[in-house]
Amino acid sequence: KYYEICGEAIERHSGRLDKFIGDGIMAIFDKKKYIEENSRNAIKAAKEISSKMHDFNRQMKTDFSEELKLGMGVHAGSTIVGLMGYGSTISETAVGDNVNIASRLETLTKDFECELVLSKYVVDKSGLNSDNLPSESVKLRGKADDFEIVPIKSVTELVFLET
């Protein structure tokens, strides 16, 4: 059910499932021509996933006395996208520094006890209303300079500026 919730939200907002990594999902939002649209779609998918996972967790709590924790990271930028692998294990994927950054942002959701960590770059490109959103400067593994992030406690409350 978790994979279904995430997959449907990703696809509904012009993203595509890239791979499942344990209980994690990597999605790529590159179907639109402009980074602004792709950034906005990634955040819209995160909002839908958050909302539907809250509903799902109410049922999980009733049935199993447990709930799933949610952590998402979103970053944007140039990557290498294509068929990769060897032999019968070839699939289309994305690699590069920006993919690694997105993964590290997802990991930061545990430190910030939040559902979503966005790069400041994605916030700026997406047209998200950031007036009341906290920004932080963090060190990311493999990066010499501090990196600007926006940790989001409750994704469902995000609002876009009119464009």
C-alpha count within 13 angstroms, C-beta hemisphere, residue 68 = 21
Which residues pair with residue 74 across a beta bridge? 118
pLDDT of 116 over the 90 cut: yes
Which residues pair with residue 28 across a beta bridge? 16
Any alpha helices (H) in 16-96, and if so which ranges? 35-64
- What pLDDT was estimated at residue 156? 84
- What pLDDT was estimated at residue 163? 52
Other Cβ atoms closer than 10 A to 11: 14
pLDDT of 162 over the 80 cut: no
Percent of all residues in the chain with a pLDDT value above 90, rounded to a whole number: 77
pLDDT, one tens digit per residue, over 64-93 is: 888 888 999 999 999 999 999 999 999 999
The overall average pLDDT reported for the chain is 93
pTM: 0.91
